[in-house]
Chain A
Amino acid sequence: MDHETLMPLMIGVFTVLAIASLIGGVLSMRVGDGPSQSVIENLNARIWAWWVMVALLGLAFLWGRPGVTILFAVCSFNALREFITLTNARRADHWMLAAVFFVVLPLQYVLVYTDWYGFYTVLIPVYVFLLMPVISALRGEVGNFLIRVAEVQWAAMVTIYFVSHVPALLSLNIPGFESQNIQLVAFLIIVVQASDVLQYVWGKLLGRTKIAPSLSPSKTVEGFVGGVASATLLGACLWWVTPFTFWQAGLMALIIALMGFFGGLVMSAIKRDRGVKDWGDVITGHGGFIDRLDSVIFAAPIFFHLTRYWWHV
Protein backbone atom coordinates (compact mmCIF):
# COMPACT_ATOMS: atom_id res chain seq x y z
CA MET A 1 0.00 0.00 0.00
CA ASP A 2 1.17 3.46 -0.86
CA HIS A 3 0.90 5.63 2.24
CA GLU A 4 2.17 8.68 0.42
CA THR A 5 -0.98 8.84 -1.71
CA LEU A 6 -3.42 7.58 0.90
CA MET A 7 -2.28 9.92 3.65
CA PRO A 8 -3.24 13.24 1.99
CA LEU A 9 -6.56 11.60 1.10
CA MET A 10 -7.28 10.69 4.73
CA ILE A 11 -6.18 14.13 5.91
CA GLY A 12 -8.52 15.67 3.33
CA VAL A 13 -11.44 13.56 4.52
CA PHE A 14 -10.75 14.37 8.18
CA THR A 15 -10.53 18.09 7.35
CA VAL A 16 -13.91 17.95 5.61
CA LEU A 17 -15.41 16.14 8.62
CA ALA A 18 -13.88 18.63 11.05
CA ILE A 19 -15.40 21.52 9.08
CA ALA A 20 -18.74 19.68 8.96
CA SER A 21 -18.64 19.16 12.73
CA LEU A 22 -17.85 22.83 13.23
CA ILE A 23 -20.77 23.91 11.01
CA GLY A 24 -23.03 21.39 12.77
CA GLY A 25 -22.01 22.76 16.16
CA VAL A 26 -22.57 26.39 15.13
CA LEU A 27 -25.94 25.54 13.57
CA SER A 28 -27.13 23.70 16.67
CA MET A 29 -26.18 26.68 18.86
CA ARG A 30 -27.92 29.16 16.57
CA VAL A 31 -31.08 27.13 16.04
CA GLY A 32 -31.51 26.24 19.73
CA ASP A 33 -35.03 24.99 20.33
CA GLY A 34 -36.34 26.34 17.02
CA PRO A 35 -38.49 24.45 14.52
CA SER A 36 -35.54 23.00 12.59
CA GLN A 37 -33.97 21.58 15.75
CA SER A 38 -34.65 17.97 14.77
CA VAL A 39 -33.06 18.49 11.33
CA ILE A 40 -29.91 19.84 12.96
CA GLU A 41 -29.87 17.05 15.56
CA ASN A 42 -30.12 14.50 12.77
CA LEU A 43 -27.37 16.32 10.85
CA ASN A 44 -25.04 16.18 13.84
CA ALA A 45 -25.85 12.52 14.47
CA ARG A 46 -24.97 11.84 10.84
CA ILE A 47 -21.69 13.73 11.08
CA TRP A 48 -20.76 11.85 14.25
CA ALA A 49 -21.57 8.53 12.54
CA TRP A 50 -19.36 9.62 9.64
CA TRP A 51 -16.42 10.01 12.02
CA VAL A 52 -16.93 6.41 13.16
CA MET A 53 -17.34 5.09 9.62
CA VAL A 54 -14.28 6.95 8.34
CA ALA A 55 -12.23 5.72 11.31
CA LEU A 56 -13.26 2.12 10.60
CA LEU A 57 -12.48 2.50 6.90
CA GLY A 58 -9.13 4.09 7.74
CA LEU A 59 -8.20 1.18 10.02
CA ALA A 60 -9.25 -1.31 7.34
CA PHE A 61 -7.12 0.55 4.78
CA LEU A 62 -4.10 0.47 7.08
CA TRP A 63 -4.50 -3.27 7.51
CA GLY A 64 -4.75 -3.58 3.73
CA ARG A 65 -6.49 -6.26 1.79
CA PRO A 66 -7.60 -8.51 4.69
CA GLY A 67 -8.95 -5.47 6.52
CA VAL A 68 -11.01 -4.20 3.57
CA THR A 69 -12.31 -7.70 2.79
CA ILE A 70 -13.36 -8.36 6.39
CA LEU A 71 -14.93 -4.90 6.76
CA PHE A 72 -17.15 -5.40 3.71
CA ALA A 73 -17.98 -8.98 4.71
CA VAL A 74 -19.25 -7.58 8.02
CA CYS A 75 -21.22 -4.92 6.13
CA SER A 76 -22.71 -7.67 3.95
CA PHE A 77 -23.74 -9.67 7.01
CA ASN A 78 -25.51 -6.71 8.58
CA ALA A 79 -27.11 -5.66 5.31
CA LEU A 80 -28.31 -9.21 4.62
CA ARG A 81 -29.88 -9.40 8.07
CA GLU A 82 -31.69 -6.11 7.46
CA PHE A 83 -32.91 -7.31 4.07
CA ILE A 84 -34.07 -10.74 5.25
CA THR A 85 -35.93 -9.17 8.19
CA LEU A 86 -38.18 -7.37 5.69
CA THR A 87 -38.91 -10.40 3.49
CA ASN A 88 -41.70 -12.98 3.55
CA ALA A 89 -39.26 -15.74 4.45
CA ARG A 90 -40.88 -18.32 6.67
CA ARG A 91 -40.13 -21.49 8.56
CA ALA A 92 -39.72 -23.57 5.39
CA ASP A 93 -36.90 -21.27 4.27
CA HIS A 94 -34.89 -21.79 7.44
CA TRP A 95 -32.21 -23.97 5.86
CA MET A 96 -32.01 -21.88 2.71
CA LEU A 97 -31.36 -18.81 4.86
CA ALA A 98 -28.87 -20.63 7.07
CA ALA A 99 -26.94 -21.59 3.93
CA VAL A 100 -26.97 -18.02 2.58
CA PHE A 101 -25.78 -16.50 5.86
CA PHE A 102 -23.26 -19.06 6.99
CA VAL A 103 -22.00 -20.69 3.77
CA VAL A 104 -22.58 -18.41 0.77
CA LEU A 105 -21.54 -15.14 2.44
CA PRO A 106 -18.19 -16.35 3.84
CA LEU A 107 -17.49 -18.35 0.67
CA GLN A 108 -18.05 -15.33 -1.59
CA TYR A 109 -15.55 -13.25 0.39
CA VAL A 110 -12.99 -16.07 0.55
CA LEU A 111 -13.24 -16.40 -3.23
CA VAL A 112 -12.84 -12.65 -3.65
CA TYR A 113 -9.87 -12.67 -1.29
CA THR A 114 -8.19 -15.52 -3.14
CA ASP A 115 -8.80 -13.92 -6.57
CA TRP A 116 -10.92 -16.76 -7.92
CA TYR A 117 -12.67 -14.47 -10.41
CA GLY A 118 -14.21 -17.27 -12.49
CA PHE A 119 -16.01 -18.62 -9.41
CA TYR A 120 -16.99 -15.56 -7.40
CA THR A 121 -18.67 -13.93 -10.39
CA VAL A 122 -20.98 -16.95 -10.84
CA LEU A 123 -21.37 -18.30 -7.30
CA ILE A 124 -24.51 -16.32 -6.47
CA PRO A 125 -26.00 -15.62 -9.93
CA VAL A 126 -25.65 -19.27 -11.01
CA TYR A 127 -25.08 -21.76 -8.21
CA VAL A 128 -27.00 -20.06 -5.43
CA PHE A 129 -29.75 -19.08 -7.84
CA LEU A 130 -30.29 -22.69 -8.86
CA LEU A 131 -29.61 -24.53 -5.62
CA MET A 132 -31.28 -22.32 -2.99
CA PRO A 133 -34.84 -22.90 -4.23
CA VAL A 134 -34.19 -26.63 -4.11
CA ILE A 135 -33.58 -26.50 -0.37
CA SER A 136 -36.83 -24.64 0.21
CA ALA A 137 -38.79 -26.78 -2.27
CA LEU A 138 -37.77 -29.95 -0.43
CA ARG A 139 -39.64 -28.64 2.61
CA GLY A 140 -42.81 -28.82 0.51
CA GLU A 141 -44.19 -25.41 1.48
CA VAL A 142 -45.50 -23.89 -1.78
CA GLY A 143 -47.34 -20.78 -0.56
CA ASN A 144 -45.72 -17.64 -2.03
CA PHE A 145 -42.87 -19.86 -3.24
CA LEU A 146 -41.70 -17.65 -6.09
CA ILE A 147 -41.91 -14.52 -3.94
CA ARG A 148 -39.94 -16.09 -1.10
CA VAL A 149 -37.23 -17.52 -3.34
CA ALA A 150 -36.95 -14.33 -5.41
CA GLU A 151 -36.62 -12.22 -2.27
CA VAL A 152 -33.78 -14.34 -0.93
CA GLN A 153 -32.07 -14.26 -4.33
CA TRP A 154 -32.38 -10.47 -4.41
CA ALA A 155 -31.07 -10.28 -0.88
CA ALA A 156 -28.01 -12.38 -1.77
CA MET A 157 -27.28 -10.41 -4.95
CA VAL A 158 -27.72 -6.99 -3.40
CA THR A 159 -26.15 -7.50 0.01
CA ILE A 160 -23.43 -10.08 -0.73
CA TYR A 161 -22.60 -10.20 -4.42
CA PHE A 162 -22.57 -6.50 -5.23
CA VAL A 163 -21.01 -5.41 -1.95
CA SER A 164 -18.20 -7.95 -2.47
CA HIS A 165 -17.22 -6.05 -5.62
CA VAL A 166 -15.65 -3.39 -3.40
CA PRO A 167 -12.88 -5.68 -2.05
CA ALA A 168 -12.77 -7.32 -5.50
CA LEU A 169 -11.21 -4.07 -6.73
CA LEU A 170 -8.10 -5.13 -4.83
CA SER A 171 -7.59 -8.07 -7.17
CA LEU A 172 -7.29 -5.99 -10.34
CA ASN A 173 -3.91 -5.96 -11.95
CA ILE A 174 -3.27 -2.55 -13.50
CA PRO A 175 0.17 -1.88 -15.03
CA GLY A 176 1.95 0.98 -13.30
CA PHE A 177 -0.59 0.90 -10.44
CA GLU A 178 0.70 -2.17 -8.62
CA SER A 179 0.02 -2.35 -4.88
CA GLN A 180 -2.05 0.84 -5.01
CA ASN A 181 -5.43 -0.80 -5.62
CA ILE A 182 -6.72 0.26 -2.24
CA GLN A 183 -6.86 3.77 -3.71
CA LEU A 184 -9.51 2.51 -6.13
CA VAL A 185 -11.60 1.52 -3.12
CA ALA A 186 -11.00 4.93 -1.55
CA PHE A 187 -11.91 6.67 -4.83
CA LEU A 188 -15.16 4.69 -5.18
CA ILE A 189 -16.23 5.20 -1.56
CA ILE A 190 -15.32 8.89 -1.49
CA VAL A 191 -17.11 9.68 -4.76
CA VAL A 192 -20.23 7.65 -4.02
CA GLN A 193 -20.63 8.91 -0.44
CA ALA A 194 -19.72 12.48 -1.39
CA SER A 195 -22.40 12.29 -4.07
CA ASP A 196 -24.96 11.20 -1.44
CA VAL A 197 -23.91 13.94 0.96
CA LEU A 198 -23.73 16.64 -1.74
CA GLN A 199 -27.16 15.66 -3.05
CA TYR A 200 -28.44 16.08 0.51
CA VAL A 201 -26.69 19.44 0.91
CA TRP A 202 -27.77 20.84 -2.48
CA GLY A 203 -31.27 19.50 -1.86
CA LYS A 204 -31.50 21.21 1.54
CA LEU A 205 -30.13 24.48 0.12
CA LEU A 206 -31.95 24.73 -3.23
CA GLY A 207 -34.30 21.75 -3.44
CA ARG A 208 -37.74 22.66 -4.85
CA THR A 209 -38.80 20.03 -7.38
CA LYS A 210 -39.27 16.53 -6.04
CA ILE A 211 -37.77 13.93 -8.36
CA ALA A 212 -39.68 10.85 -7.14
CA PRO A 213 -42.20 11.95 -4.51
CA SER A 214 -43.68 8.49 -4.07
CA LEU A 215 -40.26 6.96 -3.36
CA SER A 216 -38.33 9.52 -1.44
CA PRO A 217 -39.61 12.90 -0.25
CA SER A 218 -36.07 14.22 0.19
CA LYS A 219 -34.76 13.62 -3.34
CA THR A 220 -35.04 16.72 -5.52
CA VAL A 221 -33.99 17.57 -9.07
CA GLU A 222 -31.81 20.42 -7.76
CA GLY A 223 -30.14 18.12 -5.24
CA PHE A 224 -29.62 15.44 -7.88
CA VAL A 225 -28.07 17.75 -10.49
CA GLY A 226 -25.96 19.69 -7.98
CA GLY A 227 -24.83 16.56 -6.13
CA VAL A 228 -23.94 14.54 -9.20
CA ALA A 229 -22.17 17.50 -10.84
CA SER A 230 -20.10 18.36 -7.77
CA ALA A 231 -19.27 14.67 -7.09
CA THR A 232 -18.13 14.36 -10.72
CA LEU A 233 -15.90 17.39 -10.29
CA LEU A 234 -14.55 16.00 -7.01
CA GLY A 235 -13.83 12.64 -8.69
CA ALA A 236 -12.02 14.34 -11.57
CA CYS A 237 -9.89 16.29 -9.08
CA LEU A 238 -8.95 12.99 -7.42
CA TRP A 239 -7.47 11.62 -10.66
CA TRP A 240 -4.04 11.54 -9.00
CA VAL A 241 -5.05 8.67 -6.65
CA THR A 242 -6.31 6.56 -9.59
CA PRO A 243 -4.81 5.04 -12.73
CA PHE A 244 -7.09 7.37 -14.72
CA THR A 245 -6.48 10.73 -16.41
CA PHE A 246 -8.39 13.81 -15.23
CA TRP A 247 -11.18 13.31 -17.80
CA GLN A 248 -11.37 9.56 -17.27
CA ALA A 249 -11.63 10.03 -13.52
CA GLY A 250 -14.41 12.56 -14.06
CA LEU A 251 -16.34 10.19 -16.31
CA MET A 252 -15.92 7.34 -13.82
CA ALA A 253 -17.10 9.61 -11.02
CA LEU A 254 -20.14 10.62 -13.09
CA ILE A 255 -21.06 6.97 -13.66
CA ILE A 256 -20.48 6.16 -9.97
CA ALA A 257 -22.65 9.09 -8.86
CA LEU A 258 -25.46 8.20 -11.29
CA MET A 259 -25.44 4.52 -10.32
CA GLY A 260 -25.37 5.54 -6.67
CA PHE A 261 -28.42 7.72 -7.20
CA PHE A 262 -30.25 4.85 -8.91
CA GLY A 263 -29.30 2.57 -6.02
CA GLY A 264 -30.85 4.99 -3.56
CA LEU A 265 -34.05 5.12 -5.64
CA VAL A 266 -34.43 1.36 -6.02
CA MET A 267 -33.71 0.58 -2.38
CA SER A 268 -36.17 3.32 -1.37
CA ALA A 269 -38.83 1.67 -3.51
CA ILE A 270 -38.31 -1.57 -1.58
CA LYS A 271 -38.55 0.27 1.74
CA ARG A 272 -41.77 2.04 0.73
CA ASP A 273 -43.27 -1.25 -0.42
CA ARG A 274 -42.51 -2.78 2.98
CA GLY A 275 -43.74 0.30 4.85
CA VAL A 276 -40.51 1.24 6.62
CA LYS A 277 -38.58 4.49 6.63
CA ASP A 278 -35.14 3.00 7.24
CA TRP A 279 -33.59 -0.44 6.88
CA GLY A 280 -32.52 -0.43 10.51
CA ASP A 281 -31.36 1.85 13.29
CA VAL A 282 -27.80 0.68 13.82
CA ILE A 283 -26.08 3.78 12.42
CA THR A 284 -27.47 6.71 14.40
CA GLY A 285 -28.87 9.38 12.09
CA HIS A 286 -28.43 7.30 8.95
CA GLY A 287 -30.65 4.28 9.63
CA GLY A 288 -29.39 0.83 8.77
CA PHE A 289 -26.41 -0.50 6.86
CA ILE A 290 -28.36 -0.69 3.61
CA ASP A 291 -29.34 2.99 3.94
CA ARG A 292 -25.65 3.83 3.81
CA LEU A 293 -24.67 1.10 1.32
CA ASP A 294 -27.49 1.41 -1.22
CA SER A 295 -25.49 3.66 -3.55
CA VAL A 296 -22.30 1.60 -3.14
CA ILE A 297 -24.26 -1.54 -4.04
CA PHE A 298 -25.22 -0.12 -7.43
CA ALA A 299 -21.98 1.70 -8.17
CA ALA A 300 -19.37 -0.89 -7.11
CA PRO A 301 -19.99 -3.66 -9.69
CA ILE A 302 -20.18 -1.21 -12.61
CA PHE A 303 -17.03 0.61 -11.50
CA PHE A 304 -15.31 -2.76 -11.04
CA HIS A 305 -16.20 -4.03 -14.50
CA LEU A 306 -15.43 -0.81 -16.33
CA THR A 307 -12.03 -0.61 -14.66
CA ARG A 308 -11.42 -4.30 -15.25
CA TYR A 309 -12.39 -4.12 -18.93
CA TRP A 310 -10.20 -1.16 -19.82
CA TRP A 311 -7.32 -1.18 -17.36
CA HIS A 312 -6.83 -4.72 -16.05
CA VAL A 313 -4.35 -7.02 -17.79
Chain B
Amino acid sequence: MRLLGYLVAYLIIGFARFITAVRGNWRDEAPRDEQTIYFANHTSNGDFILIWAVLPPRLRWKTRPVAAADYWLTSPIRSYIGRHVINAVLIDRRPEARDLDPVDQMAEALDGGSSLIIFPEGRRNDTGEALLPFKTGIYHVACKRPKVRFVPVWIENLNRALPRGEVIPIPYICTCTFGAAIRLQEGESKEAFLARAQEAVLNLAPETSREEASSGS
Protein backbone atom coordinates (compact mmCIF):
# COMPACT_ATOMS: atom_id res chain seq x y z
CA MET B 1 0.00 0.00 0.00
CA ARG B 2 2.79 2.37 0.92
CA LEU B 3 4.60 1.42 -2.28
CA LEU B 4 1.59 2.41 -4.36
CA GLY B 5 1.54 5.70 -2.48
CA TYR B 6 5.16 6.42 -3.49
CA LEU B 7 4.41 5.45 -7.07
CA VAL B 8 1.43 7.81 -7.28
CA ALA B 9 3.51 10.53 -5.59
CA TYR B 10 6.22 10.21 -8.22
CA LEU B 11 3.61 10.29 -11.00
CA ILE B 12 2.12 13.48 -9.57
CA ILE B 13 5.54 15.07 -9.13
CA GLY B 14 6.54 13.99 -12.63
CA PHE B 15 3.42 15.55 -14.09
CA ALA B 16 4.02 18.76 -12.13
CA ARG B 17 7.57 18.92 -13.49
CA PHE B 18 6.34 18.27 -17.03
CA ILE B 19 3.97 21.23 -16.81
CA THR B 20 6.02 23.68 -14.75
CA ALA B 21 9.70 22.67 -15.09
CA VAL B 22 9.74 23.76 -11.45
CA ARG B 23 13.02 24.84 -9.91
CA GLY B 24 13.80 25.36 -6.25
CA ASN B 25 15.74 28.52 -5.57
CA TRP B 26 17.33 28.32 -2.11
CA ARG B 27 18.11 32.00 -2.03
CA ASP B 28 19.33 32.50 1.50
CA GLU B 29 20.39 29.12 2.85
CA ALA B 30 20.71 25.55 1.59
CA PRO B 31 17.98 23.05 2.52
CA ARG B 32 18.69 21.67 5.99
CA ASP B 33 17.93 18.34 7.55
CA GLU B 34 16.08 19.95 10.41
CA GLN B 35 12.43 20.06 11.40
CA THR B 36 10.90 22.93 9.47
CA ILE B 37 7.55 24.56 8.81
CA TYR B 38 7.53 25.86 5.24
CA PHE B 39 4.98 28.66 4.86
CA ALA B 40 4.05 29.90 1.41
CA ASN B 41 1.69 32.03 -0.64
CA HIS B 42 -1.35 30.08 -1.81
CA THR B 43 -2.70 30.56 -5.32
CA SER B 44 -3.43 27.09 -6.60
CA ASN B 45 -4.28 23.59 -5.41
CA GLY B 46 -0.97 22.41 -6.78
CA ASP B 47 1.08 24.67 -4.50
CA PHE B 48 2.39 22.09 -2.07
CA ILE B 49 3.11 19.65 -4.90
CA LEU B 50 5.61 22.17 -6.25
CA ILE B 51 7.26 22.68 -2.86
CA TRP B 52 7.29 18.93 -2.45
CA ALA B 53 8.79 18.44 -5.90
CA VAL B 54 11.76 20.72 -5.24
CA LEU B 55 12.53 19.47 -1.72
CA PRO B 56 15.42 17.00 -1.65
CA PRO B 57 13.88 13.48 -1.41
CA ARG B 58 15.26 12.84 2.08
CA LEU B 59 13.31 15.87 3.33
CA ARG B 60 10.29 15.38 1.07
CA TRP B 61 9.00 12.17 2.62
CA LYS B 62 8.90 13.61 6.10
CA THR B 63 7.24 16.84 5.04
CA ARG B 64 3.45 16.87 5.31
CA PRO B 65 1.21 19.55 3.83
CA VAL B 66 -1.50 20.96 6.08
CA ALA B 67 -4.63 20.94 3.95
CA ALA B 68 -8.35 21.55 4.20
CA ALA B 69 -10.38 18.46 5.02
CA ASP B 70 -13.42 19.96 3.27
CA TYR B 71 -11.46 19.80 -0.01
CA TRP B 72 -9.48 16.60 0.38
CA LEU B 73 -12.22 14.36 1.77
CA THR B 74 -14.87 15.18 -0.85
CA SER B 75 -14.13 12.38 -3.30
CA PRO B 76 -12.55 8.92 -3.00
CA ILE B 77 -9.61 9.84 -5.26
CA ARG B 78 -8.83 13.05 -3.38
CA SER B 79 -9.24 11.25 -0.12
CA TYR B 80 -6.81 8.51 -1.20
CA ILE B 81 -4.25 11.07 -2.39
CA GLY B 82 -4.70 13.21 0.70
CA ARG B 83 -4.30 10.35 3.17
CA HIS B 84 -1.96 7.87 1.48
CA VAL B 85 0.07 9.79 -1.09
CA ILE B 86 0.79 13.20 0.36
CA ASN B 87 0.02 12.12 3.91
CA ALA B 88 -1.61 15.48 4.59
CA VAL B 89 -2.50 16.82 8.00
CA LEU B 90 -6.18 17.37 7.27
CA ILE B 91 -7.73 20.21 9.19
CA ASP B 92 -11.30 21.41 9.44
CA ARG B 93 -11.58 25.07 8.51
CA ARG B 94 -14.96 25.55 10.24
CA PRO B 95 -14.39 26.42 13.92
CA GLU B 96 -18.02 25.80 14.84
CA ALA B 97 -18.15 22.27 13.46
CA ARG B 98 -14.84 20.71 14.36
CA ASP B 99 -13.76 18.52 17.27
CA LEU B 100 -10.02 18.81 16.61
CA ASP B 101 -8.16 22.09 16.87
CA PRO B 102 -5.91 22.56 13.79
CA VAL B 103 -3.12 24.00 15.95
CA ASP B 104 -3.16 20.87 18.13
CA GLN B 105 -3.13 18.68 15.02
CA MET B 106 -0.09 20.51 13.66
CA ALA B 107 1.72 20.32 17.00
CA GLU B 108 1.01 16.61 17.12
CA ALA B 109 2.42 16.11 13.60
CA LEU B 110 5.53 18.07 14.62
CA ASP B 111 5.93 15.90 17.72
CA GLY B 112 5.80 12.89 15.41
CA GLY B 113 8.94 14.22 13.71
CA SER B 114 7.34 15.59 10.56
CA SER B 115 8.03 18.88 8.85
CA LEU B 116 5.00 20.81 7.60
CA ILE B 117 3.92 22.92 4.64
CA ILE B 118 1.35 25.56 5.55
CA PHE B 119 -0.45 28.33 3.69
CA PRO B 120 -1.15 30.99 6.31
CA GLU B 121 -3.43 32.98 4.01
CA GLY B 122 -6.01 30.32 4.80
CA ARG B 123 -7.41 30.07 1.29
CA ARG B 124 -6.35 30.28 -2.33
CA ASN B 125 -5.63 33.86 -3.24
CA ASP B 126 -7.34 34.89 -6.48
CA THR B 127 -7.82 38.53 -5.58
CA GLY B 128 -4.93 40.04 -7.54
CA GLU B 129 -3.30 41.10 -4.27
CA ALA B 130 0.20 39.64 -3.91
CA LEU B 131 -0.56 38.23 -0.48
CA LEU B 132 -3.65 38.13 1.76
CA PRO B 133 -3.30 38.93 5.48
CA PHE B 134 -2.12 35.86 7.37
CA LYS B 135 -4.47 33.97 9.68
CA THR B 136 -3.28 33.66 13.25
CA GLY B 137 -2.70 29.87 13.19
CA ILE B 138 0.97 30.20 12.25
CA TYR B 139 1.52 32.32 15.37
CA HIS B 140 -0.25 29.84 17.64
CA VAL B 141 1.81 26.96 16.25
CA ALA B 142 4.94 29.02 16.84
CA CYS B 143 3.86 29.60 20.47
CA LYS B 144 3.22 25.92 21.03
CA ARG B 145 6.48 24.73 19.47
CA PRO B 146 8.80 27.75 19.69
CA LYS B 147 11.93 25.81 18.74
CA VAL B 148 10.72 24.91 15.26
CA ARG B 149 12.04 27.06 12.44
CA PHE B 150 9.76 28.66 9.83
CA VAL B 151 11.05 28.91 6.26
CA PRO B 152 9.22 31.36 3.95
CA VAL B 153 8.50 30.23 0.39
CA TRP B 154 7.29 32.19 -2.61
CA ILE B 155 5.61 30.15 -5.36
CA GLU B 156 5.70 32.00 -8.66
CA ASN B 157 3.45 31.49 -11.70
CA LEU B 158 1.45 28.46 -10.63
CA ASN B 159 -1.66 30.62 -10.50
CA ARG B 160 -1.11 31.27 -14.21
CA ALA B 161 -0.54 27.61 -14.99
CA LEU B 162 -3.60 26.40 -13.13
CA PRO B 163 -5.95 29.21 -12.17
CA ARG B 164 -8.80 28.44 -9.83
CA GLY B 165 -11.60 26.69 -11.68
CA GLU B 166 -9.60 25.60 -14.73
CA VAL B 167 -9.08 21.91 -15.37
CA ILE B 168 -6.33 21.84 -18.00
CA PRO B 169 -3.00 23.19 -16.75
CA ILE B 170 -0.98 25.41 -19.09
CA PRO B 171 2.78 24.94 -19.11
CA TYR B 172 4.46 27.89 -17.41
CA ILE B 173 7.88 27.89 -15.80
CA CYS B 174 7.29 27.99 -12.05
CA THR B 175 9.77 28.61 -9.27
CA CYS B 176 9.76 28.08 -5.51
CA THR B 177 12.01 30.58 -3.77
CA PHE B 178 13.02 29.72 -0.21
CA GLY B 179 14.10 32.48 2.18
CA ALA B 180 15.98 32.56 5.47
CA ALA B 181 14.35 30.77 8.40
CA ILE B 182 12.58 32.82 11.06
CA ARG B 183 11.59 31.88 14.62
CA LEU B 184 9.24 33.37 17.15
CA GLN B 185 11.30 35.72 19.27
CA GLU B 186 11.00 35.97 23.01
CA GLY B 187 8.12 38.24 23.94
CA GLU B 188 7.22 38.92 20.30
CA SER B 189 3.57 39.97 19.90
CA LYS B 190 1.14 38.21 17.62
CA GLU B 191 0.90 41.23 15.31
CA ALA B 192 4.66 41.65 15.10
CA PHE B 193 5.27 37.98 14.28
CA LEU B 194 2.53 37.85 11.65
CA ALA B 195 3.83 41.05 10.04
CA ARG B 196 7.36 39.66 10.02
CA ALA B 197 6.21 36.38 8.51
CA GLN B 198 4.22 38.10 5.76
CA GLU B 199 7.15 40.38 5.00
CA ALA B 200 9.45 37.35 4.75
CA VAL B 201 7.23 35.76 2.08
CA LEU B 202 6.64 38.99 0.14
CA ASN B 203 10.37 39.71 0.06
CA LEU B 204 10.87 36.58 -2.01
CA ALA B 205 8.41 37.64 -4.71
CA PRO B 206 9.95 38.92 -7.94
CA GLU B 207 9.39 42.64 -8.44
CA THR B 208 6.97 42.08 -11.30
CA SER B 209 4.59 40.13 -9.08
CA ARG B 210 4.66 42.84 -6.46
CA GLU B 211 4.09 45.55 -9.08
CA GLU B 212 1.21 43.69 -10.68
CA ALA B 213 -0.40 43.39 -7.31
CA SER B 214 -0.03 47.06 -6.49
CA SER B 215 -1.32 48.21 -9.88
CA GLY B 216 -4.31 45.94 -9.33
CA SER B 217 -4.13 44.12 -12.65
Contacts and interface: CB of A to CB of B under 8 A. Distances in A.
A158 B192 CA distance: 50
B163 A94 contact: yes
B23 interface: yes
Interface string B109-126: 000000000000000000
A275 B171 CA distance: 21
Contacts, number: 32
B21 A280 contact: yes
B215 to A, nearest CB: 12
Given A85-B157, A280-B21, A281-B23, A91 B163 contact: yes
Interface in B8-38: 21, 23
B27 to A, nearest CB: 14
Contacts of A81: 21, 171-173
Contact of B171 (A77, A91, A281, A282): A77
Nearest to A289: B21
Interface string B155-198: 00100100100101011110000000000000000000000000
A98 B21 CA distance: 17
Interface string A263-287: 0000000000001000011100000
Given A81-B21, A281-B23, A98 B163 contact: no
Contact of B173 (A89, A91, A98, A280): A280
A84 B170 contact: yes
Given A84-B171, A98-B168, 16 more contacts: A77-B171, A81-B21, A81-B171, A84-B170, A84-B172, A85-B172, A85-B173, A90-B160, A91-B163, A94-B163, A94-B166, A94-B170, A98-B170, A101-B170, A102-B168, A281-B23
Contacts of B171: 77, 80-81, 84, 101
A82 interface: yes
Chain A interface size, under 10 / 10 to 19 / 20 to 34 / 35 or more:
10 to 19
Nearest to A279: B173
Interface in A72-87: 77-78, 80-82, 84-85
A191 interface: no
Nearest to B164: A91
20 contacts: A77-B171, A80-B171, A81-B21, A81-B173, A82-B173, A84-B171, A84-B172, A85-B157, A85-B172, A85-B173, A89-B160, A90-B160, A91-B163, A94-B163, A94-B168, A98-B168, A101-B170, A280-B21, A280-B173, A282-B21
A78 B168 contact: no
Contacts of B208: 275
B163 A78 contact: no
A97 interface: yes
A97 B170 CA distance: 7
Contacts of A82: 173
Nearest to B169: A98
